[in-house]
Amino acid sequence: MATSSTVARWELAHRIKVRRQELGIGVEQIAKHLGFTRNFFSAVENERSMLATEKLEVLMVMLEFDNLEREELRALDAAARNRGWWETKEVLDLVRESGSRLFGLEQGASRIRGFDAHTISGLFQTSDFTRAMFSVHPENSPAAINRLVEIRRRRQADLRSRGVPITVIVGEAALHQRWADNELHLAQLEHLLELVDTHPYEVRVLTFASPPGVLVGASTLEFLDFDSAHLPTVALQEAIRDLDILEDGDPFFEQLRLAWEDGMNRALSPEASCSFIRDVIAAG
């Protein structure tokens, strides 16, 4: 069962839409049966609205869900109504809806894979490193920076408490990019090695000498996998102010998946990557 309200809401909407399409029932037919507008039911399938509990019961009968499936959908409906910390107004004001959705998906993921070309993955950062990164943005006030640091710390803590395995490919440039003084930078690299030793985490370095591949031209890429057999893997591609979330089946998703696999083939092994990071630390 989903471990975050975001994932529960997504799975509930996804299963309703898939079953409706399997039965060849149109949105207008369901909307009329439930006494809604077509736009409202479309919003339900797109996770922007939720059905009242009694309407969900009517819909499950119409879509011919069996008793076990109905129990699963009821549990998802209940979980979806328990809003997570990432859905509060305070968080939404800072990271917008796309960022909030990313955090909610992370909190329900069973595995995370990522690539960062120019910085250390946010899930592996120390609070001091995170603070230094957010401080370079002139629009971030001290109060906003404090909240952003706390959000990132909480994302990390929740994932570690669930033991979610994380694999990241990191570009060599990220191991040299200074966001503050040298002491902070070296402490971040030491922290990276400590996490690999103490958590189900894997770091793979894509060095300057690695054979060139398509992933080198990327910036930030992340894949989230889920335990539910009903949910596809999602890919997240982030730019400075934009975050695209794509589901497996999207035409562009396959390109991202192939880029990731190519990057894994070109990156150093986990053992060689840790040795490489130690050499960077030793060089100061």
Tokens linked to 254 = 């396959």
Tens-digit pLDDT profile for residues 152-198? 999 999 999 999 999 999 999 999 999 889 999 999 999 999 999 99
240 pLDDT higher than 80: no
Mean pLDDT, residues 16-23 taken together = 96
C-alpha radius of gyration, the chain, whole number? 21
2 pLDDT higher than 60: no
Instruction: Name the CATH superfamily for 5-80.
Output: lambda repressor-like DNA-binding domains (1.10.260.40)
Tens-digit pLDDT profile for residues 79-135? 999 989 999 999 999 988 888 999 999 999 999 999 998 899 999 999 999 999 999
Record the pTM: 0.91
The CATH 1.10.260.40 domain(s) of the chain lie at 5-80
pLDDT of residue 210: 87
Q: Which residue would you say has higher pLDDT here, 140 or 164?
A: 164
Under a CB-based contact definition with an 8 Å cutoff, are residues 272 and 204 in contact?
A: no
Spatial separation of the C-alpha atoms in residues 224 and 232, rounded to whole Å:
9
Neighbours of 271 (CB within 10 A): 8
pLDDT of residue 244: 85
pLDDT of residue 3: 74
On average, the pLDDT of the chain sits at 93
Of residues 167, 173, 177, the one with CA closest to residue 270: 167
Mean pLDDT, residues 5-27 taken together = 96
Mean pLDDT, residues 65-91 taken together = 95
pLDDT of residue 224: 97
Tens-digit pLDDT profile for residues 211-223? 877 777 777 899 9
pLDDT of residue 85: 94
Mean pLDDT, residues 202-208 taken together = 95
Q: Which residue would you say has higher pLDDT here, 255 or 233?
A: 233
241 pLDDT higher than 90: no
Mean pLDDT, residues 41-52 taken together = 93
pLDDT of residue 148: 95
The CATH 3.30.870 domain(s) of the chain lie at 109-283
pLDDT of residue 216: 72
Mean pLDDT, residues 1-9 taken together = 84
Residues of the chain with pLDDT > 90, as a percent, come to 82
Is CATH 1.10.3230 the right assignment for the domain spanning 109-283? no
Q: Which residue would you say has higher pLDDT here, 241 or 275?
A: 275
